[in-house]
Amino acid sequence: RTVHKFRRLAFFGLEDPRRQEEEAGASSRQLHQTLSERTSSAVVMGSAITLTSANEEAGRQLVGEHFARGLFREWPNDAGFDGLTETRGPVDLVVRGRIPAWAAGSLYRTGPGACKVEDTKSGTLDISHWFDGLAHTHRFDIVEDESVAGGIRVQYSSRRQSEALEKDIRESGSYRSLSFGQRSDPCMGMFGKLMSVFRRMKIERSTDLDNVGVTVNADVPGLRSLAQGHKDSGHATLPGNVFIGTDAAVFAEINPKTMERLGVISHQKLHTQLRGPEVPAHGQRDPETGDYISFNADFGRKGVYRVFLSSAETGKTTILASFNGTPAYIHSFFLTRNYAIICVPSSHLKLGGAKVLWEGSIVEALQPFDNSLECHWYVVDRRLGKGLVGGFASPAGFFFHSTNSFEDDEGNIICELVAYPSTTLIHRLYYDVLLNRDGKGEQFLYDSKRLVETFPGLVRYKFLKTDLVPQGSKVKAPLPSPSKEWEIPAPHVGEFPTINPAYACRRHRFVYSLIDRGYSTLYDGIAKTDTQTREVLVWSGPTGHTPGEAIFVPRVPRPSTVDKPSREDDGVLLSVVLDGHKRTSYLVCLDARTMEELGQADCNFAVGFGFHGQHITGI
């Protein structure tokens, strides 16, 4: 058992496990004691602990130990994936503690709901991948109300977004639409595959079956609402329109009040040239103008990427640049004051993307990860109409989320992202692993060689302005490389990163993310990572409390202090947390500076583990 333990630790970056364990022993034991006391605590409300850069190696070691000991088996997550209900509401939640009045507004959240469809013609259909769970959107309304204790009332509503797809699955007995990772029938022959392609081509012409539920986008310029009259809802915190985004080139519009799906809009409605099937789910807004910037990817032997801008002032969409690049799965990109930067990671698609239609899923169309395939970066000017102005190459890797990007005083471009050494994380997010069905979770999580590739690092790259090409020149190989400024490893950083939105496109200091310390099959805490000092504050609830994306709500300045600069971390975090033991959820409000819990609003039901959200201020 001892030898097995050392072998397992060796996969977590320890050159000599016995020597490293001895050197880090004191730090590891102290950290282990702190974390053990924290997770075994019987307190109702969560609290925060502080870690420093000196704890990074010990933290990595502890993650390996926790998975090796199988602690995730004692952390129930199934209520966040299965048996979820719709609550059209609004229903009042029980508020405990204090939620500040300046956090009033509507918090929209969206993500997967049901992970299976029962009573189909073929029995129960299990959805394979978390990213294909049937879309479900939620809204928490935080309202000032002097008639209630604490002066704040919180109401909850939710709405399923994929009822047509669920109906089609029930009637056909299969998942016939294009998916992210739905596993195909291994017994299907060539003729069956061919017929499936024809069916998918027919289905894709019907947008009713699109499963859209990744990001929330309020008041997107250039998109005309599908419904009239729903804006006068009498609800001061609701936006004019809400569009749900995904990695396909469509938006699903929902009624801001009822969250009823109104219809699906193709990106070609923005511009006729945006005809490719793929976009990043995370389009971005210019923090100064409100313009919407994103890109559209067209498949083929030579893929075409089209970067576009939709003007908040005119509603007109302009193509900023078009360039050839390898078709790949890309979830987000980077935006600075003057540039849009597209990173094409090593998640390449087979046959120029044609395999997606043949296989029916992105995962099955991905090429096996190859360390020789570099990440390619494309820099597009978005201010002066210069088009593509730079190309760079960095070592092979993968990422879902950029955190932020900006330009330094010399005009160099700084890009920050949550990076992975391979695409292995995608396979960890199958429901079989997350729910440990038939021991599949143990099979994956006990495999240290695979597991370590699912741990991210927060990486900051610098791209020199002097490496950009002059106007009129072409980007040619060999491409220059960015310099890696630093990397902060997990578990001192994690996934679903957020920042104070006021710091978009400018230098930031703090990143908030969901971390994985080996207690859960998903996440077990929220980290505030200081990119200057590498100090980390970690909030976590009792054992079995799984948090969701922490959304930063800045403090609204008082009139007497409006001219005084506020701290970057002056605000609160809102996160939906599942108590896996009680099978109920709550909205937690954390002080973004101290990571101490201020208050929570309790649901008497489970809210599904979502992806992303947006807070619409009520002030």
User: Which positions make up the binding site for Fe cation?
Assistant: 282, 331, 401, 612
612 CB neighbour count, 10 Å cutoff:
23
- In sign, the C-alpha dihedral spanning 121, 126, 128, 134 is positive
Peptide bond between residue 491 and the one before it cis (omega within 30 degrees of 0): yes
By three-state DSSP, how is residue 239 classified? coil
Q: How far apart (Å, rounded) are the C-alpha atoms in residues 134 and 74?
A: 27
Binding site as annotated, residues = 282, 331, 401, 612
Question: At residue 121, what are phi and psi to the nearest 5 degrees?
Answer: -65, -15
Q: How far apart (Å, rounded) are the C-alpha atoms in residues 333 and 341?
A: 6
Nearest partner of 142 among 238, 224, 229, judged by Cα? 238
Task: Walk across the sheet containing 292-298 and list its strands.
Answer: 284-285, 292-298, 303-310, 317-325
Instruction: State the alpha helices, DSSP H only, in 91-228.
Output: 163-172, 190-204
CB-CB contact of 65 with 58 (8 Å): no
Angle in degrees, CA 542, 544, 545, rounded to 5: 65
Q: How far apart (Å, rounded) are the C-alpha atoms in residues 177 and 211?
A: 9
Q: How far apart (Å, rounded) are the C-alpha atoms in residues 481 and 110?
A: 37
16 CB neighbour count, 10 Å cutoff:
11
Ramachandran assignment for 85, one of left (phi > 0), alpha (psi -120 to 50 degrees), beta (any other):
beta
CB-CB contact of 135 with 160 (8 Å): yes
Q: Identify the residue whose tokens are 């993307």.
A: 353
Q: How far apart (Å, rounded) are the C-alpha atoms in residues 528 and 369?
A: 31
